[in-house]
């Protein structure tokens, strides 16, 4: 494994780790916080508010015995605020231009907190196209394999994940995308994986798409690879040190079936770290 990442606040830049213990909800502190758009009445991130990608967050304290985290948020102007600072919601509201509140992850039983709100426009299909960054002549995003509860909830209740708690990306996929977009800065930070897996330097293909339905061992942990990671416009948006680049999404939609990387769930917990071996279980059950 080449890189290990977590993102304490949904849609903000994250932090690189050397080691962690992967649990049922992925890496401790990953997507521990999120913003709620009070006009829309739902949790929202960078699809609606891309300026959030210019913010960053890091945990200043690992989760305690009660599972509570504390993070430091760095705004685009360089100001630093703690996740429990009463001024944070006001500053974020000014940044995105709409009233938002800032929340730590809540229990799954708080269904209202995770429930979807209303679309911004009258046409849901057009709104989904806009949020996913699809042009009129491009295929409609396919959400096959996503948890059914996402029809009602923004994220699986009890989490702020888009679908599953683990996102894996390989160096081979990044190399293939660089071949398709030779003038682009194909930086791993655009795609926000938890695990970047280094494969043979000669491999330049979207190889992990073929891992779905199989089991992946990283260090001491096992991950069930669930579905390909369908891409929206977030990787094309400006981030710290990265310019806007719509060509990346055009290439992914046209040459990679709209996907880059894979989502997974945690089959068994364990310690993971940079440099750990990564194995894919063969269909026969061997590894």
pTM: 0.94
pLDDT at 33 over 90: yes
What's the confidence (pLDDT) of residue 63?
Answer: 77
Q: How far apart are the first and last CA of the chain?
A: 17
Residue 202 phi, psi (nearest 5): -80, -15
Measured CA to CA in angstroms, residue 186 lies from 80, 175, 177, 245 at distances of: 28, 8, 7, 10
Strand residues in 220-280 grouped as ranges (E): 221-230, 259-268, 270-273, 278-280
Torsion sign (Cα): 228, 234, 240, 243:
positive
What's the confidence (pLDDT) of residue 287?
Answer: 44
pLDDT in tens, 175-189: 999 999 999 999 999
Distance of CA 182 to the CA centre of its chain: 25
What's the confidence (pLDDT) of residue 65?
Answer: 63
Boundaries of every domain in the chain: 3-280
């Amino acid at each position: 494994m080449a890189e290990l990442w977590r993102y304490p606040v949904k849609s903000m830049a994250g932090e690189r780790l050397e080691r962690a213990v992967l649990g049922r909800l992925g890496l401790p502190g990953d997507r521990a916080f999120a913003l709620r758009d009070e006009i829309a009445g739902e949790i929202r991130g960078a699809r609606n508010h891309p300026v959030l990608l210019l913010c960053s967050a890091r945990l200043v304290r690992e989760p305690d015995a009660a599972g509570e985290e504390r993070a430091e948020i760095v705004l685009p102007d360089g100001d630093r605020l703690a996740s429990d600072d009463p001024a944070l919601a006001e500053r974020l509201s000014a940044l995105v231009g709409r009233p938002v509140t800032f929340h730590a992850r809540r229990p799954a039983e708080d269904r209202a907190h995770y429930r979807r709100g209303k679309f911004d426009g009258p046409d849901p299909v057009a709104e989904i196209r806009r949020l996913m960054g699809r042009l009129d002549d491009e295929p409609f995003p396919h959400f096959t394999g996503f948890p059914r509860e996402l029809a009602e909830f923004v994220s699986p209740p009890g989490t702020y994940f888009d679908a599953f708690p683990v996102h894996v990306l390989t160096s081979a996929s990044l190399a293939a995308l660089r071949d398709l977009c030779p003038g682009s800065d194909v930086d791993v930070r655009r795609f926000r994986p938890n695990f970047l897996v280094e494969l043979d330097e000669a491999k330049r293909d979207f190889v992990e798409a073929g891992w779905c339905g199989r089991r992946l061992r990283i260090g001491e942990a096992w991950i069930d690879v669930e579905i390909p990671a369908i891409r929206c416009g977030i990787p094309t948006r400006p981030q710290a040190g990265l310019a806007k680049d719509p060509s990346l999404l055009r290439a992914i939609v046209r040459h990679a079936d709209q996907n880059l990387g894979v989502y997974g769930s945690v089959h068994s917990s364990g310690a993971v770290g940079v440099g750990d071996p990564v194995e894919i279980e063969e269909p026969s059950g061997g590894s």
